[in-house]
């Protein structure tokens, strides 16, 4: 089957085997990246569903999750951002809102995956967001037609058989060399988590650890994932240095938290400003990345004078972000990762075994009163 194009528009691509057995494109035309996003995102939500028992959703961009979450409560910022009012949402739509809200700037034009069939509520919600497509194990009557109208009829709708199990091995060919390896079948369960010393994980921390491990499994390595209340709030992906992953994930988590600050939530922007532009201004202000030009542009845009957030107020608000679970796909090589994690509000760290400085890492966790759990499972993904 021919694809729209490969990694780039000048590259041709086609499916040579497998798609007709368990994947069906119900509407639209997929590129190679669409397929890679969809298949990786589906595995993430399916495994999260099995591990936690909760409906799961993921928002993928460039073969890594911008956000992943299980169904749960929606806070006021989410309800305001996504125009939900106070009625609440069912589990499928709620899981996706929580996944998309983690990093909505990155999720712009995402590939969506949900662990359960798409219902009318989710289809109606997706009509209001910019995304490229969705993969799900079924669609309620009429929802495919609703989704097919997105992107001027180019929205990708993919159905997957939830009972499909992949072959025992997988093959990749790069520059004329074919490499075969075992498919990563190791189940991610609570039994993998081995608390170190007097560390102990609560039920909610265990759920966050499982979601973080599964998210890391399908994120381009190196990666660090920060999870809070069943929702990723920071994903540091594809960095060559693990400490860079930790800082990137922490910065994203802090920006997510700063978006909950009253002065950012109530930023007096024009009511007719498109949602994504509003979000982009709020995120830039929350992250503290506005340039001098952008600051002037924002000042001209405001419908009334805004109150600048003082640095001391920003610092005080940031201290309110606590209770994060940090998952690393590989072991932490040095204690600088623990020191940085503590500054971002991490209370639990999950890492694979194998570090030469494992005693130093454990000591750093004790210094910061961080619970440490180790696993026997590395989760590199490329």
What radius of gyration, in Å, describes the C-alpha atoms of the chain? Answer: 21
Quick check: 226 and 234 in contact, CB under 8 A?
A: yes
- Asked if 107 and 66 count as a contact pair (C-beta separation under 8 A), the reply is yes
What are φ and ψ of residue 233, in 5° steps? -120, -5
pLDDT of the residue at 161: 95
Cα 364 from Cα 53, distance rounded (Å): 33
Q: Are strands 64-70 and 23-27 parallel, antiparallel or unpaired?
A: unpaired
> CA–CA separation, 231 vs 224, rounded Å?
14
Q: How far apart, in Å, are the Cα atoms of 250 and each of 82, 99, 135, 190, 285?
A: 24, 17, 29, 24, 16
Mean predicted confidence (pLDDT) in 44-67: 97
Task: Please say if 62 is a catalytic residue.
Answer: yes
Catalytic annotation, pick one of 62, 151, 358, 368: 62
In a domain, 381, yes or no: no
Q: What is the pLDDT of residue 309?
A: 79
Residues 303 and 239 in one domain: no
200 shares a domain with 84: no
| Domain contains 33 | yes
Q: Are residues 72 and 144 in the same domain?
A: yes
pLDDT tens profile 297-335:
999 999 888 667 777 888 899 999 999 999 999 999 999
Query: Would residue 237 count as lying in a domain?
Result: yes
pLDDT digits (tens, 9 = 90+) for 254-306: 999 999 999 999 899 999 999 999 999 999 999 998 999 999 999 999 988 86
Average pLDDT value for residue range 145-166: 93
73 lies in the same domain as 133:
yes
- In this structure, the answer to whether residues 84 and 223 fall within a common structural domain is no
Question: Of 61, 247, 252, 381, which one is the catalytic site residue?
Answer: 61
- pLDDT (tens digit per residue) in 325-376: 999 999 999 999 999 999 999 999 999 999 899 999 999 999 999 999 999 9
pLDDT in tens, 214-266: 999 999 999 999 999 999 999 999 999 999 999 999 999 999 999 999 999 98
Q: Can 22 be counted among the known catalytic residues?
A: no
User: Which phi and psi angles does 72 have, rounded to 5°?
Assistant: 180, -165
Question: What is residue 152's predicted lDDT score, i.e. its pLDDT?
Answer: 85
Q: Which residues contact 69 (CB under 8 A, 6 or more apart)?
A: 56, 57, 58, 95, 96, 98, 99, 102, 211, 230, 231, 232
Cβ–Cβ under 8 Å, residues 113 and 136: yes
Q: Give, for 97, the enclosing helix (H) or strand (E).
A: helix 91-101
Q: What is the C-alpha to C-alpha distance for residues 243 and 340, in angstroms, rounded to an integer? A: 8
- Asked whether residue 174 is domain-assigned, the answer is no
Q: Answer yes or no: do 82 and 96 share one domain.
A: yes
Q: What is the CATH number of the domain that holds 370?
A: 3.40.140.20
Q: Does residue 79 carry a pLDDT above 70?
A: yes
Q: Is the domain of 95 the same as that of 242?
A: no
Our count of domains for the chain comes to 3
Reading the block at residue 287, the tokens are 């992250």
pLDDT band, very low/low/confident/very high, at 2 (cuts 50, 70, 90): confident
Residues 167-203: pLDDT tens digits? 999 999 899 999 999 999 999 999 999 999 988 999 9
User: Could you tell me the end-to-end alpha-carbon distance of the chain, in angstroms, rounded to an integer?
Assistant: 24
Cβ atoms 217, 64 nearer than 8 A: no
Looking up tokens 């709620």, which residue turns up?
94
Cα(228)–Cα(25) distance, rounded to whole angstroms? 34
Cα angle 91, 282, 313; round to 5: 105
Length of the chain, please?
Answer: 382
Instruction: For residue 19, name the pLDDT band (cuts at 50, 70, 90).
Output: low
Mean pLDDT to the nearest integer, 7-29: 88
Q: What proportion of the chain, given as a percentage, has pLDDT over 70?
A: 98
Report CA-CA distances (Å) from 358 to 104, 122, 123, 202, 333: 36, 45, 47, 23, 8
161-192 burial by CB neighbour count: b if 16+ within 10 A, else e?
eeeeeeeeeeeeeeeeeeeeeeeeeeebeeeb
Q: How confident is the model at residue 113 (pLDDT cuts 50, 70, 90)?
A: very high
Q: What is the pLDDT of residue 153?
A: 85
Tokens (6 digits) for 205: 């921390």
**Of 146, 222, 247, 252, which one is the catalytic site residue?**
222
Q: What residues make up the domain containing 240?
A: 186-257+319-375
Whether residue 123 is contained in a domain is answered as yes
Cβ contacts of 16 within 8 Å, gap of 6 or more: none
Per-residue pLDDT, averaged over 120-140, amounts to 96
Is the residue at 96 inside a domain?
yes
199 and 270 both lie in a single domain: no
Task: Examine the domain organization and report whether 100 and 206 are in the same domain.
Answer: no
Both 200 and 233 in one domain: the answer is yes
């Amino acid at each position: 089957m021919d694809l729209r194009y490969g990694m780039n528009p000048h590259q041709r691509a086609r499916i040579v085997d497998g798609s007709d057995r368990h994947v069906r494109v119900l509407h639209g035309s997929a590129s190679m990246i669409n397929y890679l996003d969809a298949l990786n995102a589906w595995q993430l939500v399916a495994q999260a569903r099995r591990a936690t028992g909760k409906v799961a959703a993921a928002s993928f961009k460039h073969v890594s999750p911008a956000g992943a979450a299980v169904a749960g409560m929606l806070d006021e910022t989410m309800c305001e951002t996504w125009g939900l009012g106070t009625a609440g949402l069912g589990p499928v739509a709620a899981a996706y809102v929580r996944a998309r809200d983690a990093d909505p700037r990155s999720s712009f034009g995402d590939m969506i995956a949900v662990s359960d069939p798409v219902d009318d509520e989710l289809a109606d919600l997706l009509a209001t967001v910019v995304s490229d497509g969705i993969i799900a194990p079924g669609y309620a009557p009429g929802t495919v037609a609703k989704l097919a109208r997105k992107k001027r009829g180019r929205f990708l709708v993919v159905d997957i058989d939830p009972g499909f199990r992949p072959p025992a091995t997988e093959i990749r060919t790069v520059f004329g060399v074919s490499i075969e390896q075992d498919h990563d079948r190791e189940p991610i369960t609570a039994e993998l988590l081995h608390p170190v010393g007097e560390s102990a994980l609560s039920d909610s921390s265990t759920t966050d650890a499982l979601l973080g491990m599964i998210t890391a499994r399908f994120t381009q390595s190196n990666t660090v994932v920060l999870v809070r209340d069943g929702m990723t709030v920071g994903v540091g992906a594809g960095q060559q240095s693990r400490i860079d992953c930790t800082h990137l994930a922490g910065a994203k988590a802090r920006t997510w938290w700063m978006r909950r600050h009253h002065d950012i939530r109530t930023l007096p922007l024009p009511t007719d400003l498109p949602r994504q532009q509003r979000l982009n201004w709020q995120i830039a202000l929350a992250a503290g990345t506005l340039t001098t030009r952008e600051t002037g542009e924002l000042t001209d845009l405001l419908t009334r004078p805004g109150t600048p957030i003082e640095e001391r107020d920003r610092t005080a608000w940031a201290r309110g972000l606590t209770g994060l679970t940090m998952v690393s796909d590989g072991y932490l090589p040095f204690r600088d990762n623990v020191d940085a994690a503590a500054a971002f509000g991490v209370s639990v760290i999950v890492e694979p075994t194998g570090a030469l400085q494992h005693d130093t890492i454990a000591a750093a966790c004790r210094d910061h009163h961080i619970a440490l759990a180790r696993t026997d499972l590395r989760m590199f993904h490329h």
